[in-house]
Structure formats: structure tokens, C-alpha cells
């Protein structure tokens, strides 16, 4: 049975930033998270096999981007 790992850290971080931005002053510079590849499919992996993928996250906004936590799904 194929084991598929899909990670969505960009969506989680975007939700956190939106919540934090709504509470802040709109006149201040805001961060804007960007992720070219928000999902990755590892395909078939042997049971107990280790896999790794690097997600490149960029701040395309003017404010400081603060990532407080991220998790895989």
C-alpha cells in the first residue's frame, strides 16, 4: 500500500499570519508568506523508511515574517 505524505505548512503559516495581521495595526508593514511548492508526494515508501523534503518559504511582504510553528500532515 503506498504511503503518501503531504505536508501543508504554507497553509498553516498563512492562517497564523492572517490571524496575527487582523489583530495588528493595518498601517504597519505586513508580511506575506509565499511557498512555490506547498505540497510534496513522496510516492511509495517502504515501511519504516525515512524521507525528507525541503520546503522553501519566502516573505514577499514588507513586515517581518514570524513562523511560530509548523507541522506535517
pLDDT digits (tens, 9 = 90+) for 51-66: 999 999 999 999 999 9
Q: Is the pTM of this model over 0.75?
A: no
- Alpha helices by DSSP H, listed for 1-73, are 9-23
Report helix, strand or coil for 35: strand
Mean pLDDT score, 33-49: 91
- At 25, list the grid cell: 495595526
Amino acid at each position: 500500500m503506498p504511503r503518501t505524505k503531504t505536508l501543508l505548512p504554507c497553509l498553516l503559516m498563512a492562517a497564523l499570519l492572517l490571524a496575527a495581521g487582523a489583530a495588528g495595526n493595518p498601517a504597519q508593514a505586513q508580511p506575506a508568506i509565499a511557498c512555490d511548492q506547498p505540497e510534496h508526494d513522496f510516492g511509495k515508501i517502504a515501511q519504516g523508511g525515512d524521507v525528507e523534503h525541503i520546503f522553501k518559504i519566502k516573505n514577499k511582504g514588507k513586515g517581518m515574517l514570524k513562523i511560530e510553528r509548523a507541522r506535517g500532515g
